[in-house]
Amino acid sequence: SSQSALNFGAGPAKLPREVLAEVQDEILSYQNTGMSLMEMSHRSKEYGKINKSAQDSIRELLKVPDNYKILFIQGGGLGAFAAVAMNFMSRTGKADYAVTGTWSGKAAKEAEKYGDVNLVFPKLEKPGSIPDQSTWTLRPDASYFYYCDNETVDGVEFPYIPETNGVPIVVDMSSNIMTRKVEVSKFGCIFGGAQKNIGPAGVVVVIVRDDLLGAAMKVCPTVFNFTLVHKDNSVLNTPATFSVYVMEKVLQWIKQHGGVENMETQSGRKSGLLYETIKTSGNFYSCPINENCRSRINVPFRVGGPQGDEDLEAKFLEEAEKRYMYQLKGHRSVGGIRASLYNAITFEDVALLVKFMKEFQAQHQ
């Protein structure tokens, strides 16, 4: 049944069942108003409370200092790639990018439309490692330095915050926001789409240090201008009200489940179990990513040897679905298998996956 689906998708992804049940309860009449939240004005007092509560919850969960603003925009992660360039590039017209995989690569491409983009290390032949920081060519006059904390497609996660000697850091945390503690004060701007760890698709959370506001390029669309969006408290135009509403509930759920501290603990346990299974499989399963930057969130692996046996991988996916395990197919650009272990995925979900992997290996080795 649909109830028992184990959804390992990369995003949109599994949401906590309790949250969905609450949404179901309220869908026809939100807090006895006789209306769905979907049908209410973004300037209603009800939405105003949700908007504030979501911002407050993010501030509390990530311990966001007072000199940072929290905004909600639309346009997805891809929209944010353009938005950060248009908001922050103007100081010197230059920006430095670390390209560790698909999404930082796309972000750099987008930023090239708005200024001089330097890649701090040459394009990697194959993602899966992060060149040592001592080899990077960081420009002291860059307006900002950009990286992707967790590459969703490639399974590469930064084990540290880069040192930029004062150049503001802009980071994409779309796939690992709220999965570990973060020292917000080290960043100029943190952004992330909600559709993996904190909600449904449709909203991007932007956390921005206030001294970086006020410098958007003239061409910057109003809806992407962080200064103007902040000035109107993220209701400058009609936001994705339903997405923010569900996100607000997921944030409450995270608070009720031990906050980001516990999400971090669980992420470690879940990914630890999966990587251990891969490691002890005698190369039946293999993960191509360097051990020092393996993602705790998106785990790509091959079946049937390090190069992957595509027939066996197709069989793996087919057998997985018979056990209600879905969306395990690797991104089309890298192939193989990918298990995404976002916050709503439980340790028990991963234990079931691992049990299946062991049985599949026993049958097909």
Q: Does 193 bind ligand PMP (CB under 6 A)?
A: yes
| Options 51, 55, 87, 152; binder of ligand PMP; rule CB under 6 A | 152
Nearest distance, CB of residue 330 and ligand PMP, angstroms: 13
309 labelled catalytic: no
Residue 253 known to be catalytic: no
Nearest distance, CB of residue 171 and ligand PMP, angstroms: 10
Can you tell me which of 175, 277, 295, 340 binds ligand PMP, judged by CB under 6 A?
175
76 belongs to the binding site for ligand PMP (CB under 6 A): yes
Query: Rounded distance, CA 349 to CA 318, Å?
Result: 18
Residue with structure tokens 């779309």?
A: 174
Q: Which amino acid is at 36?
A: S
Q: Is the distance from CB of 352 to CB of 341 less than 8 angstroms?
A: no
Query: Does residue 308 interact with ligand PMP by CB under 6 A?
Result: no
User: Which CB atom, from 68 or from 147, has the smaller least distance to ligand PMP?
Assistant: 147
Pick between residue 103 and residue 158 the one whose CB is nearest to ligand PMP. 103
Number of residues that bind ligand PMP (CB under 6 A): 11
Mark the segment that binds ligand PMP (CB under 6 A) among 168-176, 206-214, 286-294, 354-362. Answer: 168-176
| Candidate list 196, 249, 270, 329, residue with the active-site label | 196
Candidates 71-79, 139-147, 160-168, 239-247 — which segment interacts with ligand PMP by CB under 6 A? 71-79
CA gap 298, 289 in Å, rounded = 11
* Annotation marks residue 136 as catalytic: no
Site string for ligand PMP, 1-30 (x = CB under 6 A): ----------x-------------------
Of these, 154, 172, 248, 313, which contacts ligand PMP (CB under 6 A)? Answer: 172
Q: Is 174 in the site for ligand PMP (CB under 6 A)?
A: yes
Region binding ligand PMP by CB under 6 A among candidate stretches 72-80, 109-117, 154-162, 225-233 = 72-80
User: Contact residues for ligand PMP (CB under 6 A)?
Assistant: 11, 76-78, 103, 148, 152, 172, 174-175, 193
Active site residues: 103, 172, 196
